[in-house]
């Protein structure tokens, strides 16, 4: 049965993502953005093969409006999507850039800001002021091809050196067809001669989890001798290790929301305003693997996550407390005690960070920036910006040209 596609919201939205925590959060952001814009036909698909089967099933979607977000690699499929001018958002920088060369003007690449992740890890360790040295941990099976790990490692090494902490290099941890004895002996040999306390920044939570297992078996004290920090804040790894793992949290929910905004533009027939969107790190979720005092707090972590995910709209302290399932008074006192700033200050800081990112686009009007970041009017944004920076947005822009 043919449908009358008179409304772009009748388009089908396919989200092709995996099952890890990062992909789940990206999908969550896409779905939230789609619901906010009134899209009714949204279909998450676990793998590319599943979408390919749907696409080729009797040609049901040929000539009908739809968009695809997530992981796409099959070049034959990509060429078909390019010929049909299907809007695509590719999740993953390296693979996405390769796919974009095929689909071209009807596509956008989104991914993680790996250099910013490495710098945040270095800043976090340096802020604790207790480490004699620092090292980077990678997984051997990924090291040859994983550009994202290389970007994190290089940024971390440069930043930690800038903080005056001795950088002890990178270690490749066996994870593919390994024997426990080899993994443990190699890890033990690596950390043995490095001055302690040692700060280890792992490429992701999987590597951090394996490092925690090695330390546990080898009798190394975490975090007294070795502190371990991962990336992704994936509970499957962070909360199942021998010690709770601290992790750099990523704003992938917000990234998915931004991706859906660009898809809506392309479905209207407009060119996307950018060809690449990168997800910055949000904050370090501190657990026992780096904390010598009980600083980790479930409610505060939820509050920061909620504020980061909603940096593009107006939220109140009451909204944050409701999202965390606790009272406003309790959360405000706990938040200030653990972070050193108020909830409202954090909301303003996150929203201004989003404003600053848009201000770096020289042709984007201030009115448009105010709308995209959830300010009721331009004057409210201008007043908050001047209080925070001591200058107008125009002056701030001029200094950075």
How is the chain split into domains, by residue range? 8-112+252-279, 114-250, 297-399
pLDDT (tens digit per residue) in 126-163: 988 889 999 999 987 655 557 889 999 999 999 999 99
The position carrying tokens 């800038």 is 162
Common-topology check for domains 114-250 and 297-399: no
Q: What stretches in the chain show pLDDT beneath 70? A: 1-9, 58-63, 141-145, 175-179, 292-297, 339, 400-401
Q: Tell me, what's the pLDDT at 350?
A: 81
Please give the CATH architecture assigned to the domain spanning 114-250: 3-Layer(aba) Sandwich (3.40)
Residues of the chain above pLDDT 70, percent: 91
Instruction: Provide the CATH number for the domain formed by 8-112+252-279 in this structure.
Output: 3.40.50.2300
Q: What class does CATH assign to 297-399? A: mainly alpha
Q: Give the pLDDT score at 62.
A: 60
pLDDT of residue 134: 96
CA distances 366 to 85, 358, 369, 393, Å, are 32, 9, 5, 8
Global pTM reads 0.68
pLDDT of residue 4: 38
Residue 317's pLDDT is 92
Handedness of CA 347, 353, 357, 363 (dihedral sign): positive
Instruction: Find where tokens 């910006």 sit.
Output: 385
Structure tokens at 193: 């001669």
Distances (CA, A) of 213 to 25, 161, 209: 27, 27, 6
What pLDDT score was predicted for residue 144? 53
CB 228 within 8 A of CB 289: yes
């Amino acid at each position: 049965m043919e449908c009358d596609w008179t409304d772009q919201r009748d388009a089908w939205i396919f989200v092709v993502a995996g099952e890890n925590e990062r992909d789940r959060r990206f999908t969550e952001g896409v779905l939230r953005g789609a619901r906010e814009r009134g899209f009714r036909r949204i279909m998450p698909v676990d793998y590319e093969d599943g979408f390919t089967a749907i696409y080729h099933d009797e040609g049901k979607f040929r000539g009908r409006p739809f968009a695809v977000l997530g992981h796409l690699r099959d070049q034959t499929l990509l060429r078909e999507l390019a010929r049909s001018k299907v809007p695509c958002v590719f999740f993953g920088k390296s693979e996405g850039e390769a796919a974009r060369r095929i689909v071209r003007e009807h596509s956008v690449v989104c991914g993680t800001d790996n250099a910013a992740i490495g710098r945040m890890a270095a800043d976090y360790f340096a802020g604790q002021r207790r480490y004699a040295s620092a090292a980077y941990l990678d997984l051997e099976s990924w090291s040859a091809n994983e550009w994202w790990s290389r970007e994190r490692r290089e940024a971390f090494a440069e930043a930690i050196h800038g903080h005056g902490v001795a950088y002890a290099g990178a270690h490749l941890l066996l994870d593919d067809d390994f024997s426990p004895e080899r993994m443990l002996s190699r890890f033990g040999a690596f950390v043995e001669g490095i001055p302690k306390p040692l700060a280890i920044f792992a490429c992701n939570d999987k590597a951090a989890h394996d490092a925690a297992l090695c330390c546990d078996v080898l009798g190394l004290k975490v975090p007294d001798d070795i502190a371990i920090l991962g990336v992704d804040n994936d509970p499957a790894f962070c909360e199942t290790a021998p010690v709770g793992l601290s992790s750099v949290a990523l704003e992938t929910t917000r990234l998915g929301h931004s991706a859906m905004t660009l898809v809506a533009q392309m479905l209207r027939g407009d060119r996307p305003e950018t060809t690449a969107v990168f997800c910055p790190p949000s904050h370090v979720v501190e657990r026992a693997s780096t904390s010598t005092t009980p600083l980790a707090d479930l409610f505060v972590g939820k509050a920061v996550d909620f504020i980061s995910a909603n940096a593009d709209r107006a939220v109140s302290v009451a909204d944050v407390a409701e999202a965390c399932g606790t009272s406003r008074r309790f959360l405000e006192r706990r938040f200030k005690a653990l972070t050193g700033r108020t909830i409202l200050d954090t909301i303003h800081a996150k929203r201004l960070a989003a404003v600053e990112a848009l201000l770096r686009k020289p042709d984007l009007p201030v009115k448009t920036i105010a709308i995209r970041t959830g300010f009721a009017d331009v004057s409210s944004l201008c007043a908050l910006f001047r209080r925070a920076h001591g200058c107008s947005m125009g002056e701030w822009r001029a200094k950075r040209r």
